[in-house]
Structure 1
């Protein structure tokens, strides 16, 4: 169990086999043999509740978590919609995901986290939080009225009493900063245990035992903390035939392959969502043979959110397609097909060709000497990186993207811009007469 991001140890005399916590909202993190799903933001942009409930952000992810041996899914994330367009983690699918996870005997943990979002838990949750299947709630790092969210008795009381949360409250990792004050406020357990990653001490554990012995925390309060955790464990039947932890978790080599058959989503479209109709033959790319691919969002990520090279950290996340946002919930790709590779394969089958210029500085400087003849259609792949724990510096797309579009559009009268980003981004080139189409792919679209 030490391979998980968080664990509760076994208590054999109670028939309690322990609890494994694992990230993340886009799939089972820190493991091999898993699927990387589209972000909740991308799925939500479809406005398709059936897709979210029956497939991607519910059953499929829940099945993989359970098959890997994880009891608690640290997701989905949520927050006040539209509070900040620069937030590192924007709002994601919540209610339908929670329903489906609970139906699989999984324990969803609703995350109200990161410094960019409102720390008042009440603002992130509906008044019927007990109905969607929320088993636990993660409190955030930030303070509310000068009190840490995870030690705010007023907010946690509203959560448990007025909103009728049936389960427990767990802090975001290393968001616990005290013992008695946090326990008495309503926090049920500390995760991951140590005060910080490189230090073995814990605010709970023996310190909580001392607080009980010193009457700073009552035994009844301690019992409630335990009861809320165990109640859900047994209610969800996680003590019955629950899969053992897959050795492929964390840094271990892959042993079990539980990859979900994601291709079924493409070949079984949800009725009434395929809007192509009779316009299918009039799409911009149907009969083109000569393509140009531009922009740093097109190639395979040499250094990126999943393949970060700390020795070259100054290069940051510039080169490569943006398949996920950054942060602790990043999921390891078993295979990633970059847009450049996919386009080359598709065009090759059509008997066409692809011309490529990826470096933004060269594009902005107009170094198009290698591009001949001018392509029938120019695909420009742009992105805006975002991660937990930070705000985006600007609503603009990254790496001088506006100049990139303007430069390509000055060359090509049929410029199509494909954007990967965490939400709202500025598109000052949208009314450029040579920009004939814009595809906002969010994060992790196919």
Structure 2
């Protein structure tokens, strides 16, 4: 149904239907295509000017004002590459912060829950589950004594279907990503844990992402409007939700490395979006010392240079030296330290926050106390604290409600416990060597529960599909092979359940010749899975295909075969892969998942810029976003290409009817948002370079080799101070460098941007009724915005703007669902006005 309201049309979609659809300085860069430019933006905006952070900043200012120079520089950096720990200011009671992966659970430790991945969570289209998962993750991170949760992931957005880390995020749409991320952040931070939204920004491919001695990381060349309307959108919502930390990406944007891109960090994130927390580098991605500080980076992790072998750093003692010699203004360091401490206070970590009770370096009780040292004393490092509680129930619920039924010809599903079932495929059973046998899950053996890389957690156990099926049907035949075996001719009522997979992950690992991205396997099922389905379909009259996958696949070689009756995408279910699936297969619940991306009939249905990965090039690889706004369903709609299965598609065992749709105008809209308020006061500190003695090593201190410290030898500190005191220029500041704080852009003024962007413009209600006769089910209602003809902007045909999911409705039962469209939801980014504009509005009102 499409309803016109003012300057936009609103399209409501409910299940089962959906809309179509090393170090380098800041110096010369490799050339980027014409029209793409990383403009300088200085100085770094001070934090503390928003009321939502004022209490935390008042406390932070009181603490930072007591810190010495070395204490300030110490807390802005990690202490070495084998740790995820920042430095401390122990004298004042400010501890080392424990920063820990991953986005789906506490990594590298035991007694935790391995939750379903982000892509699985997105496939639920259920805000309540997204929030509940965030709460549970936050509780486990707190229970393990961490301070910072390195999640959620919203970059990559999912621009490239072959992208290796798409599965860590929530889907190939900015609004789906944004709402899931904001709810995750809310849930995590309510437990007193600092959430970290990542990777900022344009990290849409794994290969060639990292700067190294021989080649810069690739440059994502993104125009201003595309940046704002697609890739920045989830980050803005994260800031609006109060996120405490942002992690920069490895790659460059418009030629400038994300860890020192002053336009992205200072201009967009800290000024336009009003981000008040701390900006950290991804591990080993910092490529300059002074340059990254001036560009707005607040924390360097893990502290080392790109080659973390000798205990060298671009910050720590070097940042101390740079402040003493005047290269880095003390004002910048004060702001860095204050942002870090303010995030700590805002989450209440000054009050009875537990300390880490585990080691990421060993699962044994005792281990090295200084794991990066050549020789280390040992002692207890693991206390084996069990933080799982009953979170397995939530993990199972998320995995279950994400399962997406794409096809169900003849109502072959659900199965009954009396069904004659043969199961094929190694994906049905857990890795025989154990679910955690492969480090960082960098293999595809057995049931695929998560991708690989830093975004994983250890399984406490693994409930695999075949075990769950055997609990229902003990007589099931299981063929644990990906090659179709020689079998007797099955009876016509026998059902084949075929399991296939597709895996991907971080570029740190190569799996079956896939270098993080799916560069080898492409969009085909791994291990000959497509052939396995075809061969099963040639033998059986009824085939059910279950797919565990990181993203879309091309299904054309078998999807229309008459024997292939049903297809389920189970995504990446985590530890609860078994019962979550059988609950759906056998009809305990109706499937209620919906695709968080489109499934095309051919990879070439997308333009080359998003269908293919960028290959090797001499110099910097240029990845130009020439498709602009048109990714996933936006691209298909523009080209009038019908997908095999549309974004948002998902079937149920029942049917739903939508009636009584109404739309109510809530807030009158002007062409652009009202004028932003002026910035509030920010912390003020003395600006005089501190005495060199604040940087001296403590008398008698014995450094541990390969650990990083912020102190200098007295002679070094004295020499640096002499340069600073003399005012002798030590560092050539970047072009465009300014020292006066800016008032901020018109599009800013609040958490995430101008506060008026979150004013509700329209409220849409619709009654959803279970129109079936036999099964209960949950319906997903999706609201899309469509601009009328004549709109003076190039706009996608439809764009997702909100969604809600009903409770499980019994046959005949109804529920009224309310969706809300904000000013921003109906706006476009005007590159000339540098503001959000509601098309068609000429003055006040609509």
- Same fold? TM cut 0.5: yes
Is it true that 1:94 corresponds to 2:212 in the alignment? no
Partners in 1 of 2:341 and 2:389 — Cα distance? 30
Partners in 1 of 2:185 and 2:387 — Cα distance? 21
CA displacement 1:205-243 (0-9 Å, x = unmatched):
111112222221111111111111011111211021011
**What corresponds to 2:596 in structure 1?**
none
- Contact map agreement 2:501 2:548 (CA 8 A) in 1: yes
The CA deviation at 1:178 is 1.4
**What corresponds to 2:298 in structure 1?**
188
- 182, 197, 216: which is aligned to 2:327? 216
- Contact map agreement 1:303 1:320 (CA 8 A) in 2: no
Q: 1:301 to 1:177 in 2, by over 3 A?
A: same
Q: Which runs of 5+ in 2 are unaligned?
A: 1-78, 171-179, 207-219, 365-382, 406-410, 508-515, 581-846
The CA deviation at 1:331 is 0.4
The CA deviation at 1:106 is 1.0
**What corresponds to 1:376 in structure 2?**
494
**What corresponds to 1:178 in structure 2?**
288
Is it true that 1:345 corresponds to 2:471 in the alignment? yes
**What corresponds to 1:414 in structure 2?**
542
**What corresponds to 2:506 in structure 1?**
388
Alignment of 1:7-406 (within 5 A): 7-53=85-131, 55-56=132-133, 58-79=134-155, 81-90=157-166, 91-92=169-170, 93-112=180-199, 114=203, 116=205, 123-124=231-232, 125-157=234-266, 158-195=268-305, 196-247=307-358, 249-253=360-364, 255-265=384-394, 283-302=413-432, 306-308=436-438, 317-348=443-474, 353-360=475-482, 362-363=483-484, 367-369=485-487, 376-389=494-507, 390-393=516-519, 394-406=522-534
Alignment of 1:418-429 (within 5 A): 418-428=546-556, 429=558
How many residue pairs were aligned? 427
Partners in 2 of 1:78 and 1:183 — Cα distance? 24
Partners in 2 of 1:136 and 1:216 — Cα distance? 26
The CA deviation at 1:81 is 3.9
The CA deviation at 1:419 is 0.4
Partners in 1 of 2:326 and 2:464 — Cα distance? 59
Q: 1:69 to 1:47 in 2, by over 3 A?
A: same
Helix, strand or coil for the counterpart of 1:62?
helix
Helix, strand or coil for the counterpart of 2:85?
strand
Partners in 1 of 2:184 and 2:245 — Cα distance? 14
* Alignment TM-score, normalising by the size of structure 2: 0.47
Q: 1:33 to 1:273 in 2, by over 3 A?
A: closer
The CA deviation at 1:129 is 4.3
Partners in 2 of 1:221 and 1:233 — Cα distance? 19
Q: 1:144 to 1:303 in 2, by over 3 A?
A: farther
Q: 1:291 to 1:199 in 2, by over 3 A?
A: farther
The CA deviation at 1:284 is 3.5
Q: Which runs of 5+ in 1 are unaligned?
A: none
The CA deviation at 1:372 is 6.3
Partners in 1 of 2:434 and 2:83 — Cα distance? 22
The alignment yields a C-alpha RMSD, in angstroms, of: 3.1
Partners in 2 of 1:12 and 1:251 — Cα distance? 26
Partners in 1 of 2:240 and 2:555 — Cα distance? 40
Partners in 2 of 1:298 and 1:402 — Cα distance? 15
Partners in 1 of 2:120 and 2:493 — Cα distance? 30
Q: 1:404 to 1:198 in 2, by over 3 A?
A: farther
Partners in 1 of 2:294 and 2:323 — Cα distance? 11
Partners in 1 of 2:506 and 2:404 — Cα distance? 34
Partners in 2 of 1:170 and 1:44 — Cα distance? 26
Q: 1:275 to 1:232 in 2, by over 3 A?
A: closer
Partners in 2 of 1:275 and 1:305 — Cα distance? 24
Q: Give the structure with higher Rg (CA).
A: 2
- Contact map agreement 2:123 2:403 (CA 8 A) in 1: no
The CA deviation at 1:266 is 8.1
